[in-house]
Structure 1
Amino acid sequence: MTDPHASTPSALENAPDDVKLAVDLIYLLENHAIDPDTALSAIEMVRRDLLAKKNSPP
C-alpha cells in the first residue's frame, strides 16, 4: 500500500523562508548541543551584524 501523502509537499516545504531558516537553525543548535546562552549570544551578534548591513548604503 502506498502512502497517500508521499506526493503531497510537507508543511515546511510550503512555509515562508524565514520559518524554514528558523527550523534549520533550531535543528543545527540542537543537533550540536549548543548551550542556549551561547546560542542567544551568537544570535544577538548576528542580529546586530545584519541590521548594520541592512542600514548601510550599498
Structure 2
Amino acid sequence: MSNNLQQAPTHIKLAVDLIMLLEQHDVAPDEVLKALEIVKSDFEKKQSNKLAL
C-alpha cells in the first residue's frame, strides 16, 4: 500500500480494497453494481437501527 493510501481515511482504504478484490476475481461490472445495491441497503438498515437505539 502506498504511503498516501496508508494515510487515507478508512472508507477510502476500504473502497480500494473492495475494488482490488472484485477486479482480482474478474466480477462483471453489472454484477458488482447489483451486489453493491444490496450491500448499501443492508448497511443503511443497520445504520438506521443503530440510530434508533
Aligned-residue sequence identity (percent) comes to: 44
**Greater Rg by CA:** 1
Equivalent pairs counted in the alignment come to 50
Counterparts of 2:48 and 2:8 in 1: how far apart (Å)?
Answer: 27
Residue equivalent to 1:18: 11
Kindly report the root-mean-square deviation, in angstroms, between the aligned alpha carbons of the 2 structures: 1.2
Q: Which has the higher helix share?
A: 2
Q: For structure 2, which runs of at least 5 residues remain unmatched after alignment?
A: none
Which consecutive segments of 4 or more residues in structure 1 shift more than 4 A? none
Q: TM-score, normalised by structure 2?
A: 0.87
